[in-house]
A and B are shown apart, each in its own frame.
Chain A
Amino acid sequence: MHLMENIVLALAALQANKMRAMLTMIGIVIGIASVIAIVSIGNSLTTSITETMESMGANKIMVSIRERGEEGRRGGPGMSGSEEEPEESDLLSDDDLETFMEHFSDKVETISLSYSVGSAKAQDGRLYANVNVTGANDGYATANNVELVSGRFIAEKDVKALKKVAVVSDRLVDNMFTAGTDPLGQEVKIYYDETIETYTIVGVYEYEASDFAPSSASEKDTTTSLYIPISLAKQDAETENYQSLTVITKTGVEVAFFSEELETYFDKIYERNTDWEAGVMNMESAIDNMTSMLNTVSIAVAVIAAISLLVGGIGVMNIMLVSVTERTREIGTRKALGARSSYIRAQFIVESVIICVFGGIIGIILGLLIGALGANLLGYPATASAAVIVISVSVTVLIGIFFGYYPANKAAKLDPIEALRYE
């Protein structure tokens, strides 16, 4: 009853003690702000990364040969601290892959193989372009979303016959050929450290600047990938076999389930190998990994938030007790004028709730600012969650009621005569 009157009254009481009210709110502000901030940052991280990963394709499964017991370690090869190099017999041979393809022909669309040869330069007189030469098979284009502008990608027959063909970027074409020339069928000379190779261009793909590794070089000097048949690339390599491959599943295949099937398959192959094993990872599990990491961070923040909310709540209770004592005579007077105990109780609970909600609102604003800032620093758009804001406000209301109840009840139970006698 008289909720409006109580709110007006509570606001007047806060107005009269602004500084005290502000100090009281700090715990609540910090608690709510940290929750809102972490949720905003976490949200934008998850959405951005999920989007990126999904655009890469959810139907891909990565298989890589790694040292045993390396599973838990983060970071790619080279960062793992491993000193061992796999021997030829530890890796997957062409025969292994063929057997694999036959075994899973109903589920696997294709597999993608690649081998990085290194950086080189395409040159023709004064014209040049920087390239990264990568050996690839026919499945590579599908697995890595290589968009062809004209011609075709490396085909199986190129790989089998060791054909000296290349697929180049449109950027390279712009650099090396006069406008209007059809690059298909033209030759391109590639200058390696010690040798020069000539390839026939069979396809041109659309170069896309990567979000993750923005190039600082001028457009002309941008290094783009140049693809050649993987068999050709491996000719000079130390290993003929493959350390990693990407499996593209057929549509309708349950990726998570199939990943497990692959794991069993490769475990069997590596059963006898004491040092090496095959790791199987899909986008879903990568996303799961990230989500679980975020969850750990969230739990830590939630604990901090819970503690500051608890401390904040106790602060509110303390200030409300002070307020009840200060206003003892007022409470006595109100009772003499006919206020029921329930009315006095409601009055003080409303006051406590208003302090908490004010703190909550300040916390939400602060949290959104920190969240936006944090997301910005990470390079993702900030995503505020309406649900979390609603929950935050509800939580502050509950804190107000919970920690306001004891002081309010104390006020309500005051003996009017004692209260009126209070000096």
Chain B
Amino acid sequence: MSEIMIDIRNLVKKVFIGSPNELKILKNITMTIHKGEFVSIVGASGSGKTTLMNVIGALDRPTSGEYLLEGEAMQEKSDNDLSDIRNKKIGFVFQTFNLIPRNSALKNVELPMLYAGINRHQRMQRAKELLELVGMSERMYHLPNELSGGEKQRVAISRALSNDPAIVLADEPTGALDSVTGRVVMDLFHKVHETKGTTVVLITHNYELAEETERILTIKDGRIVDEKKNPHSSLAKSGVE
């Protein structure tokens, strides 16, 4: 746990709704996440979790403060650089799955590899392996609207992993699922974290799920108000296996 993956200092994010009204959503956030960590971020609705995740995921730029990803200063990057970073280093998993509606499961998983310029044959091969990993080989030619919520999320996780990212960012990935399906999805994150050593950042409302991770950050009203190392995390992991 020595190398630092994410290093955030005094990060502020404001949004502007009309010129005099600026809204400070993230207020002076300082945090670090190490390589291979499994961290959860919890907090009430509207506390700023998604906003923070968007900054970490290079989808959004901070208003002020510093953000280093694997030692690289993100505020200096061009839009195209940020696209490439999202493509190669980050895997997003959304609460609402966000699969491309007209593409089959397989095509959805291939998409980030297409943007990375990987050839057709390799793309297909890897997408099939990933779908097999999440137990979706049977359904790879199905369109998203032919899949259940849990199945969609498993496809979305395969897609997030397709370019072998350094970080998986999951924003309430189980929010739209029942507890049994949620469990299957949660187990997949544990599996990815353990077998590949991928850094996983999980945003959730669910404290039970947060308890399974190595460290819990609590965010309230745009500030990190609590940080708790979880001594039971390894126990929780062995319970999964």
Contact A330 B101 (CB under 8 A): yes
Q: Which of B54, B86, B88, B101 contacts A417 (CB 8 A)?
A: B54
**Inter-chain contacts of B86 with A (CB < 8 A):** 335-338
Question: When chains A and B are docked, how far (Å) is the Cα of A328 from the Cα of B79?
Answer: 19
A163 at the binding interface (Cβ < 8 Å)? no
Give residues of chain A (224-283) contacting chain B, Cβ–Cβ below 8 Å: none
B100 within 8 A of A: yes
**Complex contact B60–A417 (CB within 8 A):** yes
Q: Are B115 and A338 in contact (CB under 8 A)?
A: yes
Instruction: Please state if A340 and B114 are interface contacts (CB–CB under 8 Å).
Output: no
Residue of A nearest to B101 (CB): A330
With A417-B54, A417-B59 as given contacts, are A337 and B101 in contact (CB-CB < 8 Å)? no
Contact B115 A337 (CB under 8 A): yes
> Is A420 among interface residues, defined by CB-CB distance under 8 A?
yes
Among B54, B88, B94, B99, contact of A338 (Cβ-Cβ < 8 Å): B88
- Chief secondary structure at chain A's binding surface: helix
B59 touches A337 (CB 8 A): no
Pick the contact of B111 from A332, A334, A420 — CB < 8 Å?
A: A334
CB distance from A142 to the nearest CB of B (A): 73
What size tier do the contact residues of chain B reach?
20 to 34
> Is the C-beta of A23 less than 8 angstroms from some C-beta in chain B?
no
Pick the 4 closest A-B CB pairs, nearest first: A338-B87, A333-B98, A340-B83, A338-B115
Q: Which residue of B lies closest to A329 (CB)?
A: B98
Q: B57 interface residue, CB < 8 Å from A?
A: yes
A359 in contact (CB, < 8 A): no
Q: Which residues of A contact B79 (CB under 8 A)?
A: 340-341
Enumerate chain B residues within 8 angstroms of A333, measured Cβ to Cβ.
Answer: 94, 98-100
Within 8 A of B (CB), among A345-368: none
Chain B residues whose C-beta falls within 8 Å of the C-beta of A417 in the assembled complex: 54, 59-60
Given A12-B102, A329-B98, A341-B79, residue A336 in contact with residue B115 (CB < 8 A): no
A330–B57 alpha-carbon span in the complex (Å): 18
Known pairs A332-B98, A340-B115 / 11 extra A-B pairs, C-beta < 8 Å: A5-B114, A329-B98, A333-B98, A334-B100, A335-B83, A336-B59, A337-B87, A337-B115, A337-B159, A340-B83, A342-B80
Across-interface contacts of B100 in A (CB, < 8 A): 330, 333-334
B48 on interface, CB distance cutoff 8 Å: no
Q: Which residues of A contact B92 (CB under 8 A)?
A: 336-337
Determine whether the beta carbon of B98 is less than 8 Å from that of A338.
no
B117 partner residues in chain A, CB cutoff 8 A:
1
Within 8 Å CB of B102, what residues of A? 12-13, 16
- B 78-130 contacts with A by CB, 8 A: 79-80, 83-84, 86-88, 92, 94, 98-102, 111-112, 114-117
For residue A410, give the distance in angstroms from its CB to the closest CB of chain B: 16
User: Can you report 22 A-B residue pairs in the complex whose CB atoms are below 8 A from each other?
Assistant: A13-B102, A329-B98, A330-B101, A333-B94, A334-B115, A335-B59, A335-B83, A335-B86, A336-B57, A337-B86, A338-B88, A338-B115, A339-B87, A340-B79, A340-B83, A340-B84, A341-B79, A341-B83, A416-B59, A416-B60, A417-B60, A420-B59
Who on chain A is nearest to B112 by CB? A337
Q: A336-B86, A337-B87 are in contact. Are A343 and B115 (CB under 8 A)?
A: yes
Q: Tell me the minimal C-beta distance from A8 to chain B in angstroms.
A: 10
Of all chain A residues, the one with the shortest Cβ separation from B171 is A420
Inside 8 A of A16's CB, which chain B residues have their CB? 102
- Across-interface contacts of A339 in B (CB, < 8 A): 83, 87, 115
A336 and B83 CA atoms in complex are apart in Å by 8
Q: Is the CB of B83 within 8 A of A338?
A: yes
Chain A proximity of B152: nearest CB distance (Å):
13
**Inter-chain contacts of B60 with A (CB < 8 A):** 416-417
Chain A positions 298-355 with a Cβ under 8 Å from a chain B Cβ: 329-330, 332-343
Complex: A21 Cα to B145 Cα, angstroms: 23
User: What are the residues of chain A within 8 A of B98 when measuring CB–CB?
Assistant: 329, 332-333, 336, 420
Contact of B84 among A1, A338, A420 (CB under 8 A): A338
**Bound CA span A13–B100, Å:** 12
Of all chain B residues, which has the CB nearest A2? B114
Chain A residues lying within 8 Å of B115, measured Cβ to Cβ, are 334, 337-340, 343
Q: A18 CA to B183 CA in the complex, in Å? A: 41
Which residues of chain B are within 8 angstroms of A420 by Cβ–Cβ distance?
59, 94, 98
- Cβ proximity bits A63-96 to B, threshold 8 Å, 1 near / 0 not: 0000000000000000000000000000000000
